[in-house]
Structure formats: structure tokens, C-alpha cells
A and B are shown apart, each in its own frame.
Chain A
């Protein structure tokens, strides 16, 4: 089953890369970014750029009352064309657009500043990059050096590693504050908190983990009922997760006894998480690591009931992004 296990480990690496970057903001980092005045009012924002109907989708937005820093996080070390395009989109965010976004009532509430921006900065942080790799890329691999040169013209390139540091490796910031901060580097904790549990591709396994963390954990203090629509609305409007996929994941969770199907009829599905399910809720990662959701359901000989027809027909692939991101699908 090793092939199947790779399926989860790729998702896990992506999730881990968000968590590792996020740990730079916490009090376990040295020095935490918050000590420099940076806050993270929003993760996975959607910001209007200069082009009609095309948004920038950085993974994190950091803000210190003057600088608005848009951060893209990548799990590997491979610089791809798509990354360059994503950073171009982030670069198209003007000061006015950033201010408009920040002053959006909800986002503004999440900062202790007045929403004024004097500079928009961008950077991309790779989980697999270090100085040695950059050196080789620049001098030994022609294809790589081309990509690197193009990317570093557009943005600052950082490397991040748990238990090690978040560090500037190539390119530069306009802001001297950011430049010296990331040149010095930030020590990161060895085991960052698992704050994020979802991938950009919304694969069933990570969706199952996220549902357990968001709804299942609440069952510690009493039963929680949830419908597929509740889950879909929770992640809207930025994501339109296919309803069929959500239903399939809930069905899987009820099969492994992480929740009960308490539906009155075949049409309106309601699932209930309670304290009796806690071992399965807490153990969800081990469950999906052992076997993909579909693999489990097929092995159990689960027939596709009409109500569980998999509407999204998504071929699980090993690509990073499966086009569920509105931004990616519109480029």
C-alpha cells in the first residue's frame, strides 16, 4: 500500500508547510514575527489585483500598520512557472487595493492598526529550500537557474524548516525592516502546532481531517450535528467544494464511526459527532494515512448509493492544485 500512503504524505507535507510558516508568528519562534509588530489578520485571503476578476491568493497576509506582506508557501524545493505567475498576481496588489481589503470591516477587526498601508511586499517560502540548494540551482542546473532568476526578480525567496529557521535565500525586500529581519532569520519550533489541516486541493483525506478538527473537536462539550451544506457554507465563498465530495467524506466518517448518520430520510443528510466517537475523531490522521478514503469505501464493498454519487468525479492526482481554487481555475 505504499503508493496509497504517498497519497496522504503529499497532503501532509503541504499542510505541514502552512503550519511551519505559521509557527514563525507564535511565541515559540525566536524572535516571533509579532515582536516586530506583524500580525496575521488573515490566512488564505482573496485580494483584488489590477486585473478585472483576477484575485491574488497568497496563503498569508501579514500586516504591521504600514507594510502589507503577502506570503505564498510551497511544500517542495522546485521552482515552477505557476509559482512565478502566482507571485506576479500578488505583485499586482496595489497599496489602494491592500487598504481596501484591510478596511473591509471583518479584516479590520482582526488588526490593532488603522488599516493604512505604505508598502505592499511579497515573498514565497519553500519548505525544501536551503542555501546549498540555491547554490546548486544557480551554478549547476541551467533550467533551475533560469527559473530562480525570474522568480527572485519578482519577489523575495525564503526557505523554512521546522526546528531550524525561516530565512531569506534569494531576491530581496524593498523594506529594510523585512530585509534585515529575514536575513537574520527566525528560529522555528521543532514541532509546530497543527493549526492547519486542509490542502488547497481539498482532497478527501485532508477534508476528513479538517471536518474532525472543526466539528468533531466541538463534540468534547456536547453532541454536534452537521449537514453537508453546513460544511460547504463554512468554506465559502472562496471555495466551492463539490457537494458530492463532502457527502462522501461524511459517509466515510460515519463508516469508521467518527460520527453517526442521524438522517431522517435518504435526502437530507445529518451527521452527529459526540464524545463516544472521540477516539476515532482524534485518530483520523492515522486512519487516512493507512488508506485513502475511496480505497476504504471500496474495500468495505460499499456500493455507491444514489445519494452518494460522487458528483465531482475528481481523479485524485498527485498534482499540487486540482483546480478547486477559483483563482487557479481562472488563470
Chain B
């Protein structure tokens, strides 16, 4: 990605995104020639991260710290050993990060933008290299976490997008209920194909490709994945401004939906009052419901085996239907209520979106992709 520090100076995020969109602009002829998607295109990718404390300008010292800290995992340490990571701050909220891979003799460039409690990482590097470099870095950085959306929310977003329609998708099905573990990749989708995939296979989208018209013809091709990755694959000459607006609009919408699903807005704070009584301020539950099975007699054992046995979690039971979970990665405790086949996550005093999101993602990615996700919350006092 040939963007130099000089090119970035004094630009705000819209201007920078506009420059990056230029990388994927195609002429009318090129658009017409381009029958299929994919291939080794350098599309513009935007990773959306929940930011719970990372600051622009602090990447280099953070890497130095991680390289020698006893708490850093083996994989993170070998990633740092094999790559040279260098952050150059552009402004208070923006920096250019170069990740070099000496063994392949290459350097990949990424732009980091801090945005109201979120971190955006933009690049036009090829997916295979983004995967090997920045996607690993995100995993090993403390305080940042990729956003995550349920399939329903992912579909809603495309429906809400102006002049856009679903033109392809990847949908997955796996459930402890049946041994089938399916991935549907669908190009050239039409209206209702998503619903058909769900009806026929219970497969739910994890990535949706869309085309957006700038009437009359398709002008923008993009996609969004449920783990916080948006991309713009091609933009017709003259539609750059619309592409910038689409990318920023989708990002904000993705953030809102993530917040709606996982943010603990009414923490279960407890206060002991002067007379010895106490008060619980708020309540937050995330319900995972309606999976592709009616009963799950061994739900607790299944969860233990598939999810809770990993190093990320410690657990303890209270009777048949309640599990207390410690998420060591995020240093939080939450409560799981079992209403087989449904699973309920309850926020306790220290619980934040980080551990709730991560647990839901583990359930849907690893355990059973057929759950629907819904937050229920209210204020109890005050």
C-alpha cells in the first residue's frame, strides 16, 4: 500500500478514506469486464475494533512490553519475534503502522484511526497478508477486540443501506444437534436467497456481499463479515464520495448494533445502604435462543467440553442450571443460566461487553451457529 506519512499529514479520516477508495476505483469498461468477484484483488478493508484502552501512539511501547512480559502467550511472542512493527503517529487520532515480515522480505501498511471508543484499521493490502500480519496483531493486543454481530444484525445492515442489495454471501451451519457442518458460499445471489439458505439448511450468514447502485448501474461492490471486517472491492469512477459515505455509514451502524447487542448499559452494581439493606442498580442479560433443536439434555456437559474447557475460562456450577464463568483473557466473571436448549448470559458486577461478546462468538463460531442473539436490560433502581 503506497501511502506515505507525508500523504497523510493534516488529513481527517474522511479524506484518508477517500484516498484509499482511489485504490479500488475502476472505469466503466473495467466494471463491465469484471463479471465475477474475488481473485487477487486489493480491496479496501476496514477492521472495526472495540477499544477499551489502546491509545494511538502507544503501539511501539506496548509491543516492547508484550515482548518481555511473563503474561504474554507463546504465539504472541513468536509473532513479535518474526515481525517488525512500527507505528508513526500522524495526528492525535491517526497513525500509520508498518508491519515488516523479514522472512518474506515485505512490509505491509495499515492506518489506525481512533474513533469514539472504537479503533478502525484500514488497509488495501491483500487479504492473505493482512491475515498473517495485522489480524494476528489485533489478537495479541490487549484492550482491543474485533466487533461481532449476529446474523440477523448483519442482514439488517444491508437492508438499511441505500440502493443496495445482497449479491452474495457466506453462510454457515454447525450444531451439536447434527453432525453436518456446512459452509455455503453463494455468488450472484438474488432477493430471498438468504432466507432460502436459512430455510433449507439453517445456515446463517457470516459474510454478506452487496452491490450498491449509483443509479442506474452497480457502482460499488462491498462486503461485510460478522467479525467486524468491512470491505470495498470496487468503485465505479465518479462514485468515490458515495463509497466513502457507505464505508463510514456501515462502520457507525456496525458499532451501534454491536453496542445494542453486547454493551452493559445497566451494570449490576450493588450498594450496601446505611441500614444494612442493599440495592442492585441494573440488569443485563443476553439470550441465545431458538437453535436448530428443541431439546438439549446435556447442554451443560456440551458447553463444558466445547467452550469452557479452553484456557480462556475457569468455571464453577451452582446446581443443574447455573454456571459461573471466569474469562481470564478479559479478567471478568459472568453467569450462565441454562434453559435448554437456550443459553442465557447474565452480567455480574464486573462484566463488560468484552467477555459477553467473546463468549457469544465462541458459542456461535465453535458450538452452535443456529442461535439467535438478543439483549435484555433494564434499570432496577435509581
Residues on B with beta carbons closer than 8 Å to the beta carbon of A218: 350
Q: Are A194 and B322 in contact (CB under 8 A)?
A: yes
**Is B381 a contact partner of A111 (Cβ separation < 8 A)?**
yes
Q: Within 8 Å of chain A (Cβ to Cβ): is B378?
A: yes
Could you say which residues of chain A place their CB within 8 Å of the CB of B316? 279, 281-286
**Contact B335 A45, beta carbon cutoff 8 Å:** no
Is B382 a contact partner of A110 (Cβ separation < 8 A)?
A: yes
Query: Are A217 and B350 in touch, CB under 8 angstroms?
Result: yes
Asked if A107 CB lies within 8 Å of chain B CBs, one says yes
A192–B318 Cα distance when bound, in Å, is 12
B5 in the interface (beta carbon within 8 A)? no
- Chain A positions 274 through 289: 1 when the CB is less than 8 Å from some CB of chain B, otherwise 0: 0100110111111000
> In chain A between 150 and 205, which residues have their CB closer than 8 angstroms to a CB of chain B?
163, 189-195
Is B315 among interface residues, defined by CB-CB distance under 8 A?
yes
B367 in the interface (beta carbon within 8 A): no
Give Cα A280–Cα B19 distance, bound, in whole angstroms.
55
Inter-chain contact B382/A111, CB cutoff 8 Å:
yes
CA of A281 to CA of B325, assembled, Å: 11
Q: Is the CB of B337 within 8 A of A191?
A: yes
Question: Closest Cβ of chain B: how far from A301's Cβ, in Å?
Answer: 26
Residues of chain B with a CB closer than 8 A to A104's CB:
274-275
**CB-CB < 8 A to B325: which residues of A?**
282
B381 engages A41 (CB within 8 Å): yes
Provide the bound-state CA to CA distance between A282 and B315, in Å.
6
Residues in A neighbouring B177, C-beta threshold 8 A: none
User: Quick check: is A10 within 8 A (CB to CB) of the other chain?
Assistant: no
Query: Bound state CA distance, A124 and B42, in angstroms?
Result: 68
Tell me the smallest distance from the CB of A204 to a CB of chain B, in Å: 17
On whether the beta carbons of B268 and A42 are closer than 8 Å, the reply is no
A43 & B277 in contact (Cβ 8 Å cutoff): yes
From A26, A32, A107, A195, name the one whose CB has the most chain B CB atoms within 10 angstroms. A26
Q: Which of B271, B277, B333, B339 contacts A44 (CB 8 A)?
A: B277
**A75 CA to B331 CA in the complex, in Å?**
35
B275 touches A28 (CB 8 A): no
- For the complex, is B326 an interface residue (Cβ under 8 Å from A)? yes
Binds A, one of B106-114, B244-252, B278-286: B278-286
**Contact yes or no, A283 B317, CB < 8 A:** yes
Q: How many residues of A contact B (CB 8 A)?
A: 51
Provided the pairs A27-B283, A195-B268 are in contact, do residues A112 and B382 lie with their beta carbons within 8 angstroms?
Answer: yes
A194 close to B382 (CB less than 8 A):
no
Q: Which residues of B contact A190 (CB under 8 A)?
A: 321, 337, 339
A325 to chain B, nearest CB (A): 11
A239–B315 Cα gap in the complex (Å)?
31
B337 touches A193 (CB 8 A): yes
Interface string of B332-363 (1 = CB under 8 A from A): 11010111000010101110000000000000
**Interface residue from B344, B377, B382 paired with A41 (Cβ < 8 Å):** B382
Given known contacts A28-B285, A190-B339, A279-B314, A12 and B319 CB-to-CB distance under 8 angstroms: yes
Interface contact B277-A42, CB-CB below 8 Å: yes
Contact segment of A114-122, A230-238, A243-251, A306-314: A230-238
Cα-based distance from A28 to B346 in the complex (angstroms): 11
Question: Could you tell me the distance in whole angstroms from the C-beta of B319 to the nearest C-beta in chain A?
Answer: 7
Q: Which residues of B contact A109 (CB under 8 A)?
A: 382
Give the one of B275, B315, B379 with max A CB within 10 A.
B275
How many angstroms from the CA of A220 to the CA of B355 in the assembled complex?
12
For chain B, residues 95 to 142, give those with C-beta under 8 angstroms from any C-beta of chain A: none
Query: Considering only CB atoms, which chain A residue lies closest to B275 in the complex?
Result: A46
Which residues does chain A contribute within 8 Å of B324, judged by CB atoms?
282
A106 interface residue per 8 A CB criterion? yes
A265 within 8 A of B: no
Q: Does A227 contact B (CB under 8 A)?
A: no
Identify A40's interface contact among B268, B273, B280, CB under 8 A: B280
* Shortest Cβ gap from A280 to chain B (Å): 8
Q: Which among A12, A27, A195, A220 is the interface contact of B280 at CB below 8 angstroms?
A: A195
Residue contact B285 to A193, C-beta cutoff 8 Å: yes
Q: Is A329 an interface residue (CB 8 A)?
A: no
**How far, in whole Å, are A192 and B376 apart by their CA atoms in the complex?**
13
Judge if A91 is at the interface, Cβ distance under 8 Å: no
Residues of A within 8 A of B283 (CB): 25-27, 193
Contacts of B312 in A (CB 8 A): none
Known contacts A110-B271, A195-B268, A278-B314; decide if A220 and B333 are in contact (CB<8 Å).
yes
Query: Is A254 interfacial (CB 8 A cutoff)?
Result: no
User: Smallest Cβ distance from A132 to chain B, in angstroms?
Assistant: 25
Cα–Cα distance between A234 and B271 once the two chains are bound (Å):
10
In chain A, what residue has the closest Cβ to B330?
Answer: A220
Contact, CB under 8 Å: B275 / A237: yes
Kindly report which residue of chain B lies nearest to residue A281, judged by CB atoms: B316
Q: Does A221 contact B (CB under 8 A)?
A: yes
- A224 CB to closest chain B CB, in angstroms? 12
Nearest chain B residue, comparing its CB with the CB of A63: B381
In the complex, the answer to whether A27 meets B376 with C-beta atoms within 8 Å is: yes
What is the distance, in angstroms, from B316's C-beta to the closest C-beta of chain A? Answer: 3
CB distance from B299 to the nearest CB of A (A): 11
Q: Is B272 an interface residue (CB 8 A)?
A: yes
Shortest C-beta distance, B350 to chain A (Å), equals 6
B256 at the interface (CB under 8 A from A): no
Asked if A43 and B279 sit within 8 Å, CB to CB, the answer is: yes
Q: Does A106 contact B333, Cβ atoms closer than 8 Å? A: no
Q: How far is the CA of A238 from the CA of B272 in the complex (A)?
A: 11
Known contacts A285-B317, A285-B318, A286-B316; decide if A193 and B335 are in contact (CB<8 Å): yes
* A14 interface contact, C-beta 8 A: no
Contact in complex: A34, B273 (CB < 8 Å): no
CA distance A190 to B289 in the complex (A): 13
Closest 6 CB pairs of A and B: A238-B276, A282-B316, A283-B316, A191-B337, A27-B376, A27-B378
Cβ contacts A to B, 21 pairs, < 8 Å? A12-B319, A25-B378, A27-B377, A34-B379, A42-B273, A43-B277, A43-B279, A44-B277, A189-B339, A190-B321, A191-B321, A192-B337, A193-B283, A194-B322, A195-B280, A217-B348, A221-B332, A239-B276, A275-B328, A278-B314, A279-B316
Sample of 18 more A-B contacts, CB < 8 Å, known A238-B275, A275-B326: A12-B319, A25-B378, A25-B380, A34-B378, A43-B278, A44-B278, A45-B273, A61-B277, A104-B275, A106-B273, A106-B274, A110-B381, A195-B280, A220-B332, A221-B331, A236-B276, A282-B315, A285-B317
Contacts from B to A (Cβ < 8 Å)? 268, 271-281, 283, 285, 287, 314-319, 321-322, 324-326, 328, 331-333, 335, 337-339, 344, 346, 348-350, 376-382
